[in-house]
């Protein structure tokens, strides 16, 4: 790889938003797609339930999807963004089907739609219980065939520098560091789950894109709007916990307490199919009432062959943990799952930094409000990834001025990172800002995070992946704790 390469567009992230954006950019654009780890590793690929959209209108309407999204989001959504999502989303779902995504089909050959919590209609298109992986795999196959896209796997973004007419991205790849210039950058770096002790997120989700956008002056909005999924598998050891999809409850699973009793209807009339934050809160309240953190999903009354066919991935994953979902209750507990806030963008995914875009979970479109409605995440990634690509393409058709000189090559060497920093940040957030926050822990946590940031900047550490991820975690934790402190004081 040469020490300097110039592109029209750099896309950072290889999940649904980044891949779909690459497919929607004009084919004359020279594109660099960076994947921090293996190409198959992204939060998108872990999405199980499906993608929500009103593809068929016989018994549904985008207005119903709009209202369901607002209700789940506590009416703190951006209604303009929600209307874009529900009105344009169906076409994107049909488009990715044309691109090869193998949605499960009903007997009439149309996409089979299922129900998930918070939805008033069956409108979730799915591929078994591994919809995200199916979408990412098929989009990636298409992107790899594009002659205008260069893909770098296991490529770390270690710096992002603004010039008058674009950016220079500092990239580490295969043991060497270089600068890649581009007129436009799209950040599609996923969420922040790895700054918590327990998360459903993949190893890429350390908030890197949010940290770089923050350093460039982009607005970071509602980073404290974090969704905790009520039914992650309650593994004994693993920090990354696999999700027991909302679709399992949609198909009739019952959520039980330590006594095997149904309890959610005590806290909300919608019971097990209330929005995620409501069910998570119900679990935490029931834990306080019973003194036990043991909770279960029971779907054993369903036909075993149906369960194995409908949820093959969940069935196999649970088996590896010694649980047969056809005969055993599934142990579950709330877990960090999704970020509703992030890099603030407009309806075309533009940040307030000229030529910088963001899409997918790292962005804040305002679609989700305070709580994301099930299966709106993949839809948001598709709709706003496409919109970013279309907006960038429109600008690329005009004459592009030169970027200017690249930054001087920096010395990335230094002493090895102290791994305790990220561990401490995870402990702070898990304690202070989980399902039911502890305001008394905010200020002390923020003070510790500020100290960690200071030590990172002055410690002389090597500027590799460990440093970037520790700094990203610290910056995100600082923003979250500052936000909730300000809210608490208001």
Query: Which residues are marked as active site?
Result: 276
C-beta atoms surrounding 173 within 10 Å: 15
For 245-292, the DSSP string reads -HHHHHTTPEEE-TTS-B-GGGT-TTGGGS-HHHHHHHHHHHHHHHT-
Rounded to an integer, what distance in angstroms lies between the CA atom of residue 127 and that of residue 133?
9
Q: Token pair of 93, please?
A: 């779902």
Q: What are the residues whose beta carbons fall under 8 Å from the beta carbon of 1, sequence distance 6 or more?
A: 173, 174, 176, 178
Rounded to an integer, what distance in angstroms lies between the CA atom of residue 154 and that of residue 196?
23
Identify the three-state secondary structure at position 322. coil
Rounded to an integer, what distance in angstroms lies between the CA atom of residue 376 and that of residue 393?
25
Q: Please check whether residue 359 is in contact with residue 188, taking contact to mean a CB–CB distance below 8 angstroms.
A: yes
Q: Token pair of 162, please?
A: 């603004």
Identify the three-state secondary structure at position 97. helix
Q: How many helices (H) and strands (E) does the chain have?
A: 14, 17
Q: Please check whether residue 250 is in contact with residue 373, taking contact to mean a CB–CB distance below 8 angstroms.
A: no
Half-sphere exposure of 140 (CA within 13 A, CB side): 22
Rounded to an integer, what distance in angstroms lies between the CA atom of residue 144 and that of residue 12?
16
Rounded to an integer, what distance in angstroms lies between the CA atom of residue 310 and that of residue 129?
7
Rounded to an integer, what distance in angstroms lies between the CA atom of residue 350 and that of residue 194?
26
């Amino acid at each position: 790889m040469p020490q300097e390469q110039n592109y029209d567009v750099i896309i950072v992230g290889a999940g649904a938003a980044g891949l779909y954006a690459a497919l929607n950019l004009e084919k004359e654009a020279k594109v660099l797609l960076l994947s921090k780890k293996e190409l198959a590793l992204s939060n998108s690929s872990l999405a199980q339930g499906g993608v929500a959209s009103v593809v068929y209108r016989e018994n549904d309407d985008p207005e119903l999807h709009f209202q369901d999204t607002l209700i789940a989001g506590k009416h703190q959504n951006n209604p303009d963004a929600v209307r874009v999502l529900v009105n344009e989303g169906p076409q994107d779902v049909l488009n990715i089907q044309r691109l090869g995504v193998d949605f499960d089909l009903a007997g009439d050959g149309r996409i089979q739609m299922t129900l998930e919590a918070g939805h008033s209609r069956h409108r979730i298109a799915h591929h078994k219980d591994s919809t995200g992986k199916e979408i990412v795999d098929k989009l990636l196959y298409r992107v790899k065939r594009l002659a205008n896209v260069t893909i770098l796997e296991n490529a770390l973004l270690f710096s992002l520098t603004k010039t008058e007419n674009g950016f220079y991205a500092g990239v580490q790849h295969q043991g060497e560091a270089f600068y890649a210039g581009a007129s436009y950058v799209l950040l599609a770096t996923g969420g922040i789950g790895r700054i918590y002790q327990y998360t459903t997120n993949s190893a890429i989700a350390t908030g890197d894109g949010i940290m770089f956008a923050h350093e460039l002056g982009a607005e970071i909005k509602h980073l404290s709007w974090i969704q905790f999924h009520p039914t992650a598998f309650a593994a004994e050891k693993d920090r990354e916990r696999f999700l027991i999809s909302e679709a399992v409850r949609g198909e009739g699973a019952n959520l039980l307490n330590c006594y095997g009793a149904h309890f959610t209807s005590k806290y909300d009339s919608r019971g097990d199919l209330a929005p995620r934050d409501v069910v998570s809160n119900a679990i935490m309240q029931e834990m306080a009432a019973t003194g036990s953190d043991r909770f279960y999903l029971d779907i054993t009354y369903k036909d075993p062959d149906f369960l194995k066919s409908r949820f093959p991935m969940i069935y196999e994953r649970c088996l590896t943990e010694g649980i047969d979902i056809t005969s055993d209750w599934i142990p579950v507990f709330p877990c960090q799952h999704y970020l509703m806030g992030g890099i603030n963008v407009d309806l075309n995914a533009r940040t307030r930094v000229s030529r910088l875009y963001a899409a997918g979970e790292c962005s804040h479109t305002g679609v989700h409000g305070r709580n994301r409605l099930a299966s709106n995440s993949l839809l948001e990634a598709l709709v706003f990834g496409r919109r970013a690509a279309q907006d960038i393409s429109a600008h690329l058709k005009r004459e592009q001025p030169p970027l200017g000189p690249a930054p001087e090559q920096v010395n990335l060497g230094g002493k090895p990172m102290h791994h305790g920093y990220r561990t401490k940040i995870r402990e702070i957030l898990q304690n202070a800002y989980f399902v039911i926050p502890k305001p008394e822990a905010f200020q002390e946590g923020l003070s510790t995070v500020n100290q960690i940031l200071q030590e990172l900047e002055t410690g002389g550490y090597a500027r590799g992946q460990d440093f970037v991820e520790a700094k990203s975690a610290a910056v995100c934790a600082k923003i979250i704790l500052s936000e909730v402190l300000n809210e608490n004081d208001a």
